[in-house]
Amino acid sequence: MKHGPSIARIGALVGDPARANMLTALMSGQALTAGELAIEAGVAANTASGHLAQLLDGGLLAVEKQGRHRYFRLAGPDIAETLEALMDLASRNGGRRTRPGPKDPELRRARVCYDHLAGEQGVALMARMTAGKLLALGDGSIEMTAHGERHFAAFGIDVAALKSASRPVCRSCLDWSMRRPHLAGGLGAALLTRIVHLGWARRLPASRIVRFVPSGEKAFAKLFA
């Protein structure tokens, strides 16, 4: 008799190319309509509806209704982190997509992983926060230090709100392009929101790319250094 949860069903849901394209499109953290996801998956509208029903039933997606429209999104940040880890596995095993163009270097440089910063900039930020003892790494865990709480508060992060939320404050997310961790969780999301609010960077529409302005990139490089 087998013990523990079965990964076969989830693997089958993610393993279909059309559904995988839908899930990847939602990694930006934006909610998309069935029609938009059909285009991303390269399938007809009725076929997309069947795929979306399976993803909803499997707990990978959530849906919101606004008027006549239904908007689909990932069921939570943990789904995005799991997909990011699968992307890393695919990259290491020769499963990388061939989609040439100027966006590829930018995706590696800085991108959104659901709602937090990923890519070279995300990994660099994580390294600086760890080296500066703003974050403490334990046995498979990560948390803010008292020193870090003061620094994050000074940067404009509501630390008390993060600690009282149901979402984990800090989570390590393996970056598929760098193969090193970047910061997820409530703190990771709050940092990206603050960076965008300060005008250091902006999220490109209909894309996962985060593009820093020159002055913002300089300020970001000094952040928590």
Minimum mean pLDDT range among 81-90, 181-190, 204-213: 81-90
Q: pLDDT, tens digit, for every residue of 43-69?
A: 999 999 999 999 999 999 999 988 888
b/e per residue 129-153 (b: at least 16 CB within 10 A): bbeeebbeeeeeebebeeebbebbe
Query: Cβ(114)–Cβ(27) under 8 Å?
Result: yes
Rounded to 5 degrees, φ, ψ at 199 are 80, 10
- Distance from C-alpha of 122 to C-alpha of 142, rounded to nearest angstrom: 16
**Average pLDDT of the chain, as a whole number:** 89
Domains defined for the chain, CATH in brackets: 8-75 (1.10.10.10), 79-222 (no CATH)
Q: pLDDT, tens digit, for every residue of 96-145?
A: 554 444 467 898 999 999 999 999 999 999 999 999 999 998 877 899 99
Share of the chain above pLDDT 70, in %: 94
Its pTM stands at 0.78
pLDDT given at position 84 = 85
Does residue 217 surpass a pLDDT of 60? yes
pLDDT given at position 95 = 57
Higher pLDDT, 82 or 3: 82
- Provide mean pLDDT across the span 190-197: 97
Does residue 188 surpass a pLDDT of 70? yes
Q: Give the pLDDT band (50/70/90) at residue 7.
A: confident
Q: pLDDT, tens digit, for every residue of 154-175?
A: 999 999 999 999 999 999 988 8
